[in-house]
Amino acid sequence: KGNNKGHRASQSSVSESISSLLTAMSQPSPATTELPGLPGDTVTAVGVADIVVVVLYFVFILAVGIWSSIRMSQGTVGGYFLAGRSMTWAPIGASLMSTDVGSGSFLGLAGTAAAGGLAVGGFEWNAIWPLLALGWIFVPVYIAAEVVTMPEYLQKRFGGQRIQIYISVLSLILYIFTRISVYIFAGALFIQVCVGWNLYLSTVVLLGVTALYTIAGGLTAVIYTDLMQTVIMVLGAFVLMFIGFEKVGWYEGLQEKYMTAIPAIKVPNTTCHLPREDSFHLFRDPISGDLPWPGLVFGLTVVALWCWCTDQVMVQRALSAKNLSHAKGGSVLAGYLKLFPVFFIVMPGLISRALFPDEVGCVDPEVCKRVCGAAVGCSNIAYPKLVIELMPDGLRGLMIAVMMAALMSSLTSVFNSSSTLFVIDIWQRIRKQASEQELMIVGRVFILILVAISILWIPIIQSANSGKLFDYIQSIGSYLTPPITALFILGIFWKRTNEPGAFWGIVAGLAVGLVRMIMEFVYSTPSCGEEDKRPALLKDVHYLYFALILFALTAVVIIIVSLCTPPIPEEKLDGLTWWSRDKRAAPINLKDCESEAAETNPEHKEKDLLESAASGEKEEAAAKRPCWKTVFMWLCGLQTGPTPPPEERAALEHRLTSTEEKPLWRAVCSISAILLMAVNVFLWAYF
């Protein structure tokens, strides 16, 4: 989602680069990481208390998943993919948080902090602004447009099918080959480092439990389990943070110990082993800084807007809200939660280097290979190293549960959103008259396919232990997402944007991004002490600057082509732009030509959203049938609730497509957002 939180410093070892394994979700990935080796001698014994805690975690999460699956109608598109649009602000905010902060975040954020200092925390705090934009700007437009997926919005906004198909396929590729691989590898690596469990066995068990309630319960189960996993994740991570701070003498002691955390064995005539002088500052030099402040403020925002405001995985959670106020409240809660990872992930990364400079801060290739199996450095083991060394029995199991929560919450989100994209934007193009039951079954089968791909992906990741494959896979998001951001922003705010401009803009942006990505494949990042012989485009243009340039280039192409081609009639844009979101006339699906105008069950969504919202917790009493058949029909979403009467359907239709808010809750959300922005500005200024 792209999944990176940092970049190699100009004078620091490539060892910090594994930091780019971050979630997603949420920021761009530079192609400067080396894939870590699997753990060597860092495995520790698992106590009985640890096993009990992990088993209790699995039982608890599975119970929550099954409960939430049963209580909500999953037999319709709206019920399964948008949780019947009945979610409240708390589960939405927690789901946004846990989806973004995945297992890769714990390794990547802490690893980057160990190698380069506090600046990587800016990736977390920067997300607050796009989160508020999601609730106040983007979601009102999506609700007014009555869409389930982001490619579907583009199809309604611009017409035709090529943009919709392009974005759908691109999103699925990004999900399968970046997010899923990051989550599985980082989570499995953590578990293997900490307890030495078999990589395949632990991954298969995690995927099995995850797939069970995701397939059965849809977005409802995903969001409710995300809520529970967020609580587990935050509490467990804070426990480790307090233990770590106590060991180093709190923040003042950490600053002193980190700046003197130099490994005993160094690479001669280099400064790779030295902590950066600006390690405890967010804003760094715009030219020589590893995270230049203009890139962190502006370039990162471009990719963050893609992640939080236009990416299906994140937006789908906000669209599940019962009304706009709950969507805003969820965005605000997620923003407050995003303040914390700097303290319970980034700070522990600094603590780990301060306590274990010879292992976490190693720079000599031979030493690093002995410590973690990777010659380029071991900063990636910063977080699991703390767990191994500081956590007693029982609490170690808690941290394993925390990592499982991070992994499973992110995987379920990707599974559900990928299934939504495939069913709504691709399958309905293939099967234009697909029945409701067919769509439900196809959505669940596609999740099974994703699970199979996830398992098959493990040996590929392992085979890239000392290579560049994993690193380059992560770089894909950095070079493909800025054009999408430009497309959505212009599509929402500039009525003159038309289909030719949008299409050729993203094609041009993709072409330029691919050039940079291919260059990353060809030219490797130099190790500590080696001369950097890469072209200037790679070594002199920071990837955050490149994202900003790519965004501007795409926007220019979209504007020029749109101005040179006929505009879209304004009456066809009702409910599809920021300026026309309150016009309640039914928006017309724009089409390039009659051959593309075949409707793909457009009434499915509206009808299904109404039925699922009306049924709520009510389920049709099961007829006398064998238990196995009842379970099968429940898993496949073939049990539906009663159809509401016309009057109730009309009321529900108004609620589900309305952006109206009660004045009290609008004010509460706005005041909360202002306070959040004030806290965020204070933290940026303080650090």
Residue with tokens 């690093």: 368
In the prediction, which pLDDT does 630 show?
A: 53
The winner for highest mean pLDDT among 34-38, 180-184, 491-495 is 491-495
pLDDT, tens digit (0-9, with 9 covering 90-100), for 192-210: 666 666 667 777 777 777 7
SS3 292: strand
Phi first, then psi, for residue 61 (nearest 5°) are: -65, -40
Confidence of residue 216 (pLDDT cuts 50, 70, 90): low
Q: What is the number of other CB atoms lying within 10 angstroms of the CB of residue 239?
A: 17
In the prediction, which pLDDT does 281 show?
A: 81
Question: What whole-number distance in Å separates Cα of residue 652 and Cα of residue 84?
Answer: 11
Q: Which of 182-191, 417-426, 456-465 has the lowest mean pLDDT?
A: 456-465
Question: Is residue 418's pLDDT more than 50?
Answer: yes
Largest CA distance in the chain: 80
In the prediction, which pLDDT does 42 show?
A: 44
Question: Is residue 684's pLDDT more than 60?
Answer: yes
Confidence of residue 254 (pLDDT cuts 50, 70, 90): confident
Question: Is residue 682's pLDDT more than 90?
Answer: yes
The pLDDT > 70 percentage for the chain reads 70
Phi first, then psi, for residue 486 (nearest 5°) are: -60, -40
Supply 615's token pair: 């049924």
Label residue 392 exposed, middle or buried (CB < 10 Å: 0-12, 13-18, 19+): exposed
For residue 217, give Cα distances in angstroms to 258, 267, 416, 439, 570: 46, 54, 10, 15, 40
> In the predicted model, what is the mean pLDDT of the chain?
74
pLDDT, tens digit (0-9, with 9 covering 90-100), for 324-376: 889 999 999 999 999 999 998 889 988 988 888 888 777 777 777 777 766 66
Residue 329 amino acid letter: G
pLDDT, tens digit (0-9, with 9 covering 90-100), for 622-657: 445 565 455 544 444 445 545 555 555 555 555 566
Q: Do the beta carbons of residue 36 and residue 108 sit within 8 Å? A: no
Question: Is residue 36's pLDDT more than 90?
Answer: no
Give every CB contact of residue 242 below 8 A, 6+ residues apart in sequence: none
Give every CB contact of residue 398 below 8 A, 6+ residues apart in sequence: 53, 236, 239, 391
In the prediction, which pLDDT does 504 show?
A: 94
In the prediction, which pLDDT does 646 show?
A: 58
pLDDT, tens digit (0-9, with 9 covering 90-100), for 8-32: 333 333 333 333 333 333 343 333 3
Residue 226 amino acid letter: D
pLDDT, tens digit (0-9, with 9 covering 90-100), for 589-615: 444 433 344 444 444 444 444 444 444
User: Within its chain, how far is the Cα of 230 from the centroid?
Assistant: 14
Phi first, then psi, for residue 273 (nearest 5°) are: -80, -10
Domains with residue ranges and CATH for the chain = 14-580+679-686 (1.20.1730.10)
Give every CB contact of residue 555 below 8 A, 6+ residues apart in sequence: 486, 489, 490, 505
Question: Is residue 544's pLDDT more than 50?
Answer: yes
Instruction: Give which of 425, 392, 406 is closest to 169, Cα–Cα.
Output: 425
Confidence of residue 181 (pLDDT cuts 50, 70, 90): confident
Confidence of residue 4 (pLDDT cuts 50, 70, 90): very low
Cα torsion 536, 541, 542, 543: sign: negative
Whole-number CA gyration radius for the chain: 24
Question: What whole-number distance in Å separates Cα of residue 144 and Cα of residue 153?
Answer: 10
In the prediction, which pLDDT does 490 show?
A: 94
